[in-house]
Amino acid sequence: MLKGIPSIISPELLKVLCEMGHSDRIVIADGNFPAESMGKNAKVIRCDGHGVPEILDAILQLFPLDTYVEKPVLLMEVMKGDDAKTPIWDEYKKIIAKYDQRGADTVGTIERFKFYDEAKQAYAIIATSEKAIYANVMLQKGVI
Q: Which of 24, 50, 105, 116 is catalytic?
A: 116
pTM of the model: 0.96
Per-residue pLDDT for 15 more than 80? Answer: yes
Torsion, Cα of 74, 131, 48, 5 (10° steps): 50
Helix axes of 52-60 and 88-99: crossing angle, nearest 10 degrees: 10
Alpha carbon of residue 136 to chain centroid: 7
The pLDDT score that the predictor gives to residue 1 is 74
DSSP string, 73-127: EEEEPPPTT-----THHHHHHHHHHHH-TTGGGGEEEE-HHHHHHHHHT-SEEEE
Per-residue pLDDT for 108 more than 90? Answer: yes
- For 32, 79, 90, 112, 134, the CA distances from 82, given in Å and listed in that order, are 16, 5, 19, 12, 11
Q: Is 116 known to be catalytic?
A: yes
Per-residue pLDDT for 111 more than 90? Answer: yes
Which domains occur in the chain, in start order?
22-140 (3.40.1650.10)
Q: Is 50 known to be catalytic?
A: no
Strands 25-29 and 124-128: parallel
Task: Work out the pLDDT band at 2, boundaries 50, 70, 90.
Answer: confident
Report pLDDT digits (tens) over 18-74: 999 999 999 999 999 999 999 999 999 999 999 999 999 999 999 999 999 999 999
Give the list of residues 6+ apart from residue 68 with CB closer than 8 angstroms, or none.
23, 142
Q: Which of 30, 57, 66, 100 is catalytic?
A: 66
Report pLDDT digits (tens) over 72-99: 999 999 999 998 999 999 999 999 999 9
